[in-house]
């Protein structure tokens, strides 16, 4: 039987690296994994882990692929010796954190280029062949930050919201082509993501006013708490990709954790957005509740959006 050819972007660390290993070392030996990296000089940890996991020879190959560069994406495609990709995983991404007004134009452009245009470039390179063959699966690393706005993650959330629209639109079109698109919506995951934030954590904070700087400090404390309590291991998240990959009729969305779903649902249950904004504000900046323009009657009760357990630290970046 032919193996399933999988190509993954962003495999130097984190979710991409762990997914590549998980598939290449699968006991079925049915996957051929092309783990792609922006910079092949960063492939050491992947191969080290592959040796430790006993990935069989030929199950894993690395390719250079920078999603910001269409030529690099096209070149990677031509190096897939099987001549086809059965499963494309658009995973490469970069975070950007800090008050909007201090983010540099370069950092904003770079994150949108990687997260949005980079995903578009990758899809444009691989989708036509899948459509022609009337078969294929596309898995995209989504984020709860693509389903709800998170303070100080403005541009990152904008990029992940864009990914939602991109994938949902494609999913509607692709039904008759036998090509399935699934978003793997992740909450916080223990990866190098925080260390690789574009421009470092927070940017040039001096450019922000004192009150915003104080709120940013509070946000960082909140994040730390959320990470301690809720961050998942990338191995756990890789299993969610496997679920999507194996589903006979894949769903558009899979969630690595259900912890943040009540907040996402709050956005839908009150389309005005007031309930979500108030709930998220008080969750993050707990000791300074959001002003409620409609008076206390409109403020959502914690139990309505997930109860006290969620009311503690519901949201993290990413």
Ligand X SMILES: NC(=O)c1ccc[n+]([C@@H]2O[C@H](COP(=O)([O-])OP(=O)(O)OC[C@H]3O[C@@H](n4cnc5c(N)ncnc54)[C@H](OP(=O)(O)O)[C@@H]3O)[C@@H](O)[C@H]2O)c1
User: Site residues (CB under 6 A) for ligand X?
Assistant: 9-16, 38-39, 42, 66-68, 91-94, 114, 118, 141, 143, 186, 188-189, 191-193, 196, 318
Instruction: Work out how close the CB of 36 gets to ligand X at its nearest, in angstroms, rounded to a whole number.
Output: 7
Q: For 175, how many CA atoms within 13 A lie in the half-sphere containing its CB?
A: 6
Closer to ligand X by Cβ: residue 25 or 143: 143
> What is d(CA 65, CA 302) in angstroms, rounded to the nearest whole number?
45
| Residue where the block lists tokens 């409620």 | 292
Min CB(113)–ligand X separation in Å? 8
Which C-beta is closer to ligand X: that of 91 or that of 154? 91
CA proximity to 89, closest of 10, 174, 190: 10
For residue 174, the number of C-alpha atoms closer than 13 Å in the C-beta half-sphere is 28
CA-based angle 45:18:201, to the nearest 5? 75
Stated length of the chain = 318
Q: Which is nearer to ligand X, 141 or 282 (CB)?
A: 141
Q: In angstroms, what is the minimal distance from the CB of 203 to ligand X?
A: 18
The answer to whether the CB of 36 falls within 8 A of the CB of 65 is yes
* Least distance to ligand X, CB of residue 303, Å: 27
| 214 Cβ contact list (under 8 Å, min separation 6) | none
**Is the Cβ of residue 44 or residue 289 nearer to ligand X in the bound state?**
44
Cα distance between residue 222 and residue 283, in whole Å? 9
- Give the residue among 92, 117, 99 at the shortest CA–CA distance from 17: 92
Residue 121, strand partner residues: none
Residue 19 vs 127, nearer CB to ligand X = 19
Smallest gap, in angstroms, from Cβ of residue 136 to ligand X?
20
276 is catalytic: no
Catalytic residue among 34, 156, 219, 254: 156
Residue 111 or residue 278: which is nearer to ligand X going by CB? Answer: 111
Q: What angle do CA 97, 49, 196 make, to 5 degrees?
A: 10
In the bound complex, what is the minimum distance in angstroms from residue 191's beta carbon to ligand X? 3
Q: Which residues lie below 8 Å from residue 161, measured CB to CB, with a gap of 6+?
A: 146, 147
Distance CA 7, CA 130 (A): 13
Bridge partners, 39 (sequence order): none
Active-site residue list: 156
């Amino acid at each position: 039987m032919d193996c399933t050819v999988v190509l993954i972007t962003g495999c130097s660390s984190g979710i991409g690296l762990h997914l590549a290993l998980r598939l290449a070392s699968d006991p079925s030996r049915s996957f051929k994994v092309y783990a792609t990296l922006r910079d092949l000089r960063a492939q050491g940890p992947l191969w080290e882990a592959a040796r430790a996991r006993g990935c069989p020879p030929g199950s894993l190959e690395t390719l250079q692929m920078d999603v910001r560069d269409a030529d690099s994406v096209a070149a990677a495609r031509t190096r897939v010796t099987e001549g086809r990709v059965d499963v494309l995983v658009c995973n490469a991404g970069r975070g950007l954190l800090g008050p909007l007004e201090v983010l540099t134009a370069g950092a904003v452009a770079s994150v949108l280029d990687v997260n949005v245009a980079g995903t578009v470039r990758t899809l444009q390179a691989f989708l036509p062949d899948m459509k022609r063959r009337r078969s294929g699966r596309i898995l995209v690393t989504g984020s709860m930050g693509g389903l709800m706005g998170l303070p100080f993650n403005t541009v990152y959330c904008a990029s992940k919201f864009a990914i939602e629209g991109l994938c949902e639109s494609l999913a509607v079109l692709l039904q008759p082509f036998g090509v399935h698109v699934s978003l793997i919506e992740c909450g916080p995951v223990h990866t190098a993501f925080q260390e690789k934030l574009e421009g470092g954590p927070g940017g040039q904070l001096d450019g922000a006013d004192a009150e915003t700087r104080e709120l940013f400090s509070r946000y960082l404390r909140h994040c730390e708490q959320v990470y301690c309590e809720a961050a998942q291991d990338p191995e756990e998240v890789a299993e969610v990709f496997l679920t999507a990959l194996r589903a006979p009729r894949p769903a558009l969305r899979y969630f690595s954790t259900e912890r943040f779903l009540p907040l996402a649902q709050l956005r839908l249950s009150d389309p005005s957005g007031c309930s979500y904004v108030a709930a998220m504000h008080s969750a993050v900046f707990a000791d300074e509740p959001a002003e409620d323009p409609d008076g206390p009657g409109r403020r959502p009760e914690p139990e309505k959006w997930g109860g006290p357990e969620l009311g503690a630290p519901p949201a993290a970046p990413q």
